[in-house]
Amino acid sequence: MGLIVWFRHDEDEQAPSPCPFTLMYGTTLWEVFRCDDAINALFNNAMAADSHFLMQIDLKEFGEVFHGIYSLVDITNGVGGATMAIVAEFPCFKCTILDLPHVIAKGPSSSIGNV
């Protein structure tokens, strides 16, 4: 089913129809990541590279928004790239990362600050 057909597809008004990926492959993208370590690593490495790049810009341009904050909860962070960049800039932060168990299990241990 193509994307245009999917947007027009409304079999059941109450339940959302599956996304195009699920329709094509019969499973969710997140299930593929959970079951395939190579694809999971590829996705997490891409997200970490993106986070590292963007957080350097964000902290340089908007770092003042973090002043006066001492704790941070980062939800669905991946392997912690954004949070580690924040803690490197603000080592007094106490940070908690929440994500799917298979993502946390593959994430790096941190010796930076309080991650």
The confidence band for 114, taking pLDDT boundaries of 50, 70 and 90, is very low
Torsion sign, CA atoms 58, 109, 94, 79: positive
Q: Say if residue 100's pLDDT is above 70.
A: yes
User: Residue 43: which domain range?
Assistant: 18-105
Q: For position 38, which CATH number holds? A: 3.40.50.150
Residue 1 maps to a domain:
no
| Among candidate residues 17, 22, 113, 15, the one with its CA nearest the CA of residue 72 | 113
Q: How far is CA 49 from CA 12, 21, 74, in A?
A: 39, 24, 17
Residue 96 maps to a domain:
yes
Residue 115 maps to a domain:
no
For 52-94, the pLDDT digits (tens) are 788 889 999 999 998 888 898 888 766 777 888 888 888 888 8
- 28 or 109, which is more confident: 28
Residue for token pair 């912690």: 80
- 1 or 31, which is more confident: 31
Residue 64, pLDDT score: 92
Q: Say if residue 37's pLDDT is above 50.
A: yes
- CA atoms of 81 and 55, how far apart (whole Å): 9
Tell me the mean pLDDT in the region 102-114: 58
Tell me the mean pLDDT in the region 97-114: 64
